[in-house]
Amino acid sequence: MAREIKFSLLYRDMWQSSGKYVPTVEQLTEVAPEIVKMGCFARVETNGGGFEQINLLFGENPNKAVREWTQPFNDAGIQTHMLERGLNGIRMSPVPADVRRLMFQVKKKQGTDIARSFDGLNDPRNLENSIKFAKEAGMISQAALSLTVSPVHTVEYYTDLADTLIEMGADEICVKDMAGVGRPASIGRIIKNIKTKHPDIPIQYHGHAGPGFQMASILEAAYAGAEYIDVGMEPLSWGTGHADLLAVQAMLKDAGFNVPEVNMKAYMKVRSLTQKYIDDFLGYYINTKNRMNNSLLIGPGLPGGMMGSLMADLESNLASINKWKNKNGEAELTQDDLLIKLFDEVTYVWPKVGYPPLVTPFSQYVKNLAMMNVIQLEKGKERWSMIADNIWDMILGKSGKLPGSLAPEIVEMAKAQGREFYTGNPQDLYPDKLDEFRAEMKKNNWDFGRDDEELFELAMHPEQYRAYKSGAAKAGFEADLADKKAEAEREKAAVPAPAPATNGEHKPRKIVVTIDNQEYVVGISYPDVEGNQPAEPAAAKTSAPAPKPQAAPAPASAGGKTIVSPLEGKFFLTKDSSETPLKVGDPVKAGDLVCYIESMKTYNAVAAEEDGTVTEILIANGAAVDEDDVLIKMS
């Protein structure tokens, strides 16, 4: 009898791998019944990771979103799974143990069946609590191997890691090929080794399509014994997303596996709804390059899940670099120029910081470190001059043990700055804090929510939750979306209308397809007479995006002392509630940390270059700043 392969739909991850945002709760609950009707999914990935932070950025409640989105799948007997980051829970920074325990309790009660837990460094110490807390809450604990390709990340390395996690109590193993750079034959050997030693442990394979290995990897995973395969679907499959359901199903069926049939009427409905959400507003946050496969990703090994935000980061950094180049009479860079420089720098930086697997948050850390190096080099400065505190935490061992060795120059830099390396259990550095957040909830007279879920949101995402409660998050999102729409209208007005066909033939732009008596509108594009895709209009080929309108930068004072922003980003006096913000009248010594610039999801510390006393703080907390804007004045 043919061996059965089951599918899991990564509906929310499809969005995050393509762009910045995911659908709203209303959109998710609209599409969920149609996903159920497709009849081919044993599992659906519903929440966790950065997804719930995105709800807060919208100004909507993540707890309401998770409960309403998981309910249709719970009712249909389809298992739901979440993604969580071990020590970091469902955020980018480490989480106290009591908050991590509460997370699993809350998510189980909200309808999540399986906790897929990964650690960005593959340090088992960071996953031990995840496995323990998930099982305590009644969830299936699925421990993930964060796959990458380096001299230290061998088949034996991952086989041994799986043994350790299973001994810790993991119910399942996920082979998490987050960048799609895993080589198919090696993936097959890893899975076969695990199944040989642990035949009763289910294995789920997850991978991204970008570099081009994906279909071969899925076939190897299936032959080796994987029971579950993660898939995407049109119009968000392939590119930096995931392999398409229909292609995977056809391939595995031909290979002799027992795979479920797809209700095509429901498939087309989900496809149509997904396109509607893209057209509504989500498409404004999807870079067209993220919809294409790109074998250049093999070298840097950057994961599909961060490529959406990466392209947005490139736009703002490109504008900053070209602003400097214009000021200094140098030729501008194009976005492709910057992308290649970034990929090359990631390849250079990665081994020097100990080969951390390029998965959240460490993919962002390595990418940000590389981006800062590129920016500094392009401006005639030196590498390593901007290293954010959370990147230092990774380097020093405060996030876990690095798989490889640090380059001597990094070790010497740490010692020169008086930084100490840490070899203990990372969780010990982050004491319990739920009591502090309970006190804040009571002080503000905020409802703790069903099953303490609102308490959990504040504890997991303090700054975003406060912004959500104040209404600032929703206002900020709506203003940003309005800017995006206005920019799109400007670009549309600048592109000339296409010339009519010269051969007299009428070429329709849309056709109506009828499947099972249901009509679907399908758009059509045409190649030119040479068989190539139409050339991009000249007006659309600008190398740097138009800057968003913002307040004029504060002018440098004629006298006195100033502290200026070293890069573009958002200004913050503190990065968390444990710090005391600087205020007018405070004395400052040269080298003192005075504020942060948040850029590319990391807080970059800004230090005073001379002694003085604060006379004025010119920028509001959370406000956007450009490079060289004056932040603080001193006497």
The dihedral built from the CA positions of residue 285, 73, 92 and 631, taken in this order, carries a sign that is: positive
CA–CA distance, 303 with 193 (Å, rounded to integer)? 25
On whether the CB atoms of residues 579 and 609 are closer than 8 A, the answer is: no
In the predicted structure, residue 558 carries a pLDDT above the cut 50? no
Calculate the CA 436 to chain-centre distance: 29
Q: What is the mean pLDDT of residues 241-263?
A: 97
d(CA 552, CA 491): 24
What residues does 176 pair with on adjacent strands?
146, 206
Which residue would you say has higher pLDDT here, 580 or 531? 580
* 11-15, 337-341, 546-550, 565-569: range with highest mean pLDDT: 11-15
pTM equals 0.78
Mean pLDDT of 548-559: 44
Give residue 498's pLDDT.
57
Instruction: Give how many domains the chain has, as a whole number.
Output: 1
Q: Could you report the per-residue pLDDT of 224-251, keeping only the tens digit for each?
A: 999 999 999 999 999 889 999 999 999 9
In a domain, 569, yes or no: yes
Confirm whether 603 is domain-assigned: yes
Residue-level pLDDT at 187: 98
Q: Is residue 605 part of a domain?
A: yes
Quick check: 294 pLDDT over 80?
no
Each residue of 15-28: b (16+ CB within 10 Å) or e? bbbbbbbbbbbebb
- Classify strands 41-48 and 172-177 as parallel, antiparallel or unpaired: unpaired
Assigned domain for 299 exists:
no
430-434, 440-444, 554-558: lowest mean pLDDT where? 554-558
Checking if the pLDDT of 537 tops 50, the result is no
Beta strands in 419-560 (DSSP E): 510-515, 518-523
Residue 536: pLDDT band by 50, 70, 90 thresholds? very low
DSSP 498-554: PPPPSSS----SEEEEEETTEEEEEE-----TTSSPPPPPGGG--SSPPPPP-PPPP
Return the pLDDT at 586. Answer: 93
- Please, which pLDDT band fits residue 543 given cuts at 50, 70 and 90? very low
For 42-99, the pLDDT digits (tens) are 999 999 988 888 899 889 999 999 999 999 999 999 999 999 999 999 998 899 999 9
Please report whether residue 255 resides in a domain: no
**Confidence category of residue 438, pLDDT binned at 50, 70, 90:** very high
* CB 164, CB 124: distance < 8 Å: yes
Q: Which residues pair with 327 in a beta bridge?
A: none
Residue 456, domain member (yes or no) = no
CA distances from 417 to 150, 400, 412, 564 (A): 29, 21, 9, 22
336-377 per-position pLDDT tens digit? 888 888 888 888 999 999 999 877 788 888 888 888 898 888
- How long is the chain? 635
Residue type at position 123: D
Residue 580 inside a domain? The answer is yes
Q: Residue 458 pLDDT more than 90?
A: yes
**CA-CA distance, 593 to 584, in Å (whole number)?**
15
**Cα(65)–Cα(77) distance, rounded to whole angstroms?**
19
Alpha-carbon distances of 587 from 302, 359, 575, 605, 608, rounded to whole Å: 43, 41, 20, 18, 11
Domain of residue 587, residue span:
561-634
In a domain, 613, yes or no: yes
The string of pLDDT tens digits covering residues 130-155 is 999 999 999 999 999 999 999 999 99
266-293 pLDDT, tens digit each: 999 999 999 999 999 999 888 887 778 7
Return the CATH number at 621: 2.40.50.100
Residue 19 and residue 417: Cα distance in Å, rounded? 37
| Strand pairing category for 569-572 and 602-607 | unpaired
Give 491's pLDDT tier (boundaries 50, 70, 90).
confident
Given its phi and psi angles, is residue 93 left (phi above 0), alpha (psi -120 to 50 degrees) or beta? beta
Tokens of 168: 């810790």
The pLDDT tens digits of the residues spanning 167-211 come to 999 999 999 998 889 999 999 999 999 999 999 999 999 999 988
Q: How many Å apart are CA 216 and CA 247, to the nearest integer?
A: 12
3-state class (DSSP) for residue 563 = strand
- Residue 548 binned pLDDT confidence (cut-offs 50, 70, 90): very low
The answer on pLDDT for 123 being more than 60 is yes
pLDDT at position 572 over 70: yes
- For residues 303 and 363, the answer to whether their CB atoms sit within 8 Å is yes
Task: Choose between 560 and 217: higher pLDDT.
Answer: 217
Rg of the chain's alpha carbons, rounded to an integer? 25
Give the C-alpha separation, 310 to 600, whole Å. Answer: 8
